[in-house]
Amino acid sequence: MISPQDLGSASPPPAFAGPTTTLDLDLIRKYSGPAPRYTSYPPATQFHAQFSTADIEAAIADDNGAEAGPISLYLHLPFCETLCWYCGCNTVITRQHGAADAYLDTLTRELDLTVARMERTRPVTQLHLGGGTPTFLNAEQLLRLSDLLKSRFVFAPDAEISAEIDPRRLTGEQVAALRSLGMNRASLGVQDTDERVQRAINRIQPQETNQRAVEWLRAAGVTSINLDLIYGLPLQTPTTFDRTLDDILALQPDRLSVFSYAHVPWMKPSQKIFEHRNQLPVPEGKLAMFALAHERLTQAGFLDVGLDHFARPGDELALALREGTLHRNFQGYTTRAGASLYSFGLSSISQTATTYRQNHKTLGAWRGALENDLFPVERFLRLTDEDVRRRELIMSLMCRRELNFADLNRRLGVDVATQYAPELASLVDLEADGLIETSPHGVKVTPRGSPLLRVVASRFDATFQAAARRHAQAV
């Protein structure tokens, strides 16, 4: 059995030097295709329904060991007043703000059910409020949430406390309430500042609204502001997106997330309207916008942290990238290591060193379970030792852009070069194209390969490779 403490231990800083990547669009075209985002390994698609309450209780009990690390908390607050037609999140659309009171009642039950089984002296080093729209909750409801959490957990003095904020639904009172909860980071959904694009996606958000939100947050003492953008939305072109980037840079964010629009109308029917209106950019246009964002942001001094994330050089995320201490969880890249993730609210995912569990995705199922004093869990996974080893390899590539064999051999207790010889041999095309460099000491992802981290990591993903083989046999 691999000890969680072994996996969480520090290792020497990697020889990572050049965070600014050079985009090679031909290579991106060549290797484009579905690959997991590796916010977990195995990915959430592998979680299953064959589990019992005893499995969940054992997962929490195992996590309470004498050397248990800190806690990271996530709360899913699903309400939104209106639906943005591109949205891929798990939301509940309503204008009835009383719904949030009933939600907090049920959330209290969930917290109490779990907290009763947890070692409560473990410090909380990270809290994230996600959604939906956390600022659907009014100031009073946010203060109630703050009391709920502070009365049940011990927060570390330097805890990172962040919230997703919809600038359209924000008041000065809400900012004050979030600050009293300790919020020191905010992530604002902007997506695009072009008026025609905003009409096409059903999200009207003037730049003045963004400016006002940023000013309020800065004045209240929020030290780090992230802005979310999406490329590939209806009616976007490189020209309109260039103007959006001007607007975004004028807001002087500390971090940026630049996401690719995911068109999945079979899962999100509201997206069908973009097809009916024939408004979506062609793939080459989307690629041009990705390249434009990368060029503009790196020229403006942001570091490409990986996947969709950019950060100012002095930001904690950029420092963690340089020092090799970056981590990855369901919220994306993070600087907080070794924490177990306890998540609450519908559809949220929790993680211990050797388990994952995901809550029910509908309000009715989530609430129904809790009214019967049952964990509102829909799917579960206990990792095998092999899963844990592969997760280490994949996260090393995703966060440190390397496999350091000596370090990994020590931590995993196997000879990586021997045990994973077939996977390492499968990297030959990536090396020929200059995406990686291999040596007897390990593998390094080059600046050319950085935009394709997921492709490199997927070579060590047993489930993804098995599916790819089945697909290849089928055609």
Binding residues for ligand SF4, rule: CB under 6 A, are 80, 83-84, 87, 89, 91, 131-133, 166, 189
Q: Answer for the pair 108, 96: CB distance below 8 angstroms, yes or no.
A: no
Residue nearer to ligand SF4 on the CB measure, 109 or 168: 168
Residue of 21, 78, 10, 83 whose CA lies nearest to 326? 10
Residue nearer to ligand SF4 on the CB measure, 37 or 268: 268
Task: Record the tokens describing residue 330, joined without a space.
Answer: 């369901």
Per-residue buried b or exposed e for 446-457, using 16+ beta carbons within 10 Å of the residue's own CB: bbbbbbbbbbbb
Residue of 456, 453, 463, 468 whose CA lies nearest to 426? 456
* Smallest distance from ligand SF4 to CB 234, Å: 14
Residues 51, 468, 333, 399: is their CA dihedral positive or negative? positive
Chain centre to alpha carbon of residue 81: 23
Q: Answer for the pair 291, 25: CB distance below 8 angstroms, yes or no.
A: yes
* Smallest distance from ligand SF4 to CB 108, Å: 23
Residue nearer to ligand SF4 on the CB measure, 168 or 441: 168
Residue nearer to ligand SF4 on the CB measure, 166 or 192: 166
Q: What whole-number distance in Å separates Cα of residue 228 and Cα of residue 437? A: 32
Pairing relation of β-strands 123-131 and 349-351?
A: unpaired
Residue nearer to ligand SF4 on the CB measure, 16 or 259: 259
In sequence order, the 6+-apart residues with CB closer than 8 A to the CB of 382 are: 55, 59, 354, 355
* Smallest distance from ligand SF4 to CB 78, Å: 8
Angle at 284 between CA 448 and CA 394, to 5 degrees: 40
* Smallest distance from ligand SF4 to CB 166, Å: 5
* Smallest distance from ligand SF4 to CB 451, Å: 25
* Smallest distance from ligand SF4 to CB 271, Å: 12
Q: Which residue has the tokens 């809790």?
A: 370
Task: Record the tokens describing residue 197, joined without a space.
Answer: 């694009």
Q: What whole-number distance in Å separates Cα of residue 433 and Cα of residue 402? A: 17
Q: What whole-number distance in Å separates Cα of residue 226 and Cα of residue 167? A: 12
- State the greatest distance between any 2 C-alpha atoms of the chain, in Å, as a whole number: 61
* Smallest distance from ligand SF4 to CB 242, Å: 23
In sequence order, the 6+-apart residues with CB closer than 8 A to the CB of 24 are: 448
Angle at 198 between CA 306 and CA 174, to 5 degrees: 75
* Smallest distance from ligand SF4 to CB 93, Å: 7
Residue nearer to ligand SF4 on the CB measure, 19 or 134: 134
Q: What whole-number distance in Å separates Cα of residue 207 and Cα of residue 19? A: 30
* Smallest distance from ligand SF4 to CB 362, Å: 16
In sequence order, the 6+-apart residues with CB closer than 8 A to the CB of 39 are: 328, 329, 330, 331, 332
Pairing relation of β-strands 92-93 and 79-80?
A: parallel
Residue nearer to ligand SF4 on the CB measure, 43 or 88: 88
* Smallest distance from ligand SF4 to CB 89, Å: 4
Residue nearer to ligand SF4 on the CB measure, 82 or 114: 82
Residue nearer to ligand SF4 on the CB measure, 65 or 269: 269
Residue of 449, 459, 367, 452 whose CA lies nearest to 421? 459
* Smallest distance from ligand SF4 to CB 94, Å: 11
Residue nearer to ligand SF4 on the CB measure, 204 or 421: 204
Task: Record the tokens describing residue 254, joined without a space.
Answer: 């500390």
* Smallest distance from ligand SF4 to CB 270, Å: 9
Task: Enumerate the β-bridge partners of residue 191.
Answer: 229
Task: Record the tokens describing residue 12, joined without a space.
Answer: 């020497």
Residue nearer to ligand SF4 on the CB measure, 69 or 131: 131
Residue nearer to ligand SF4 on the CB measure, 255 or 400: 255
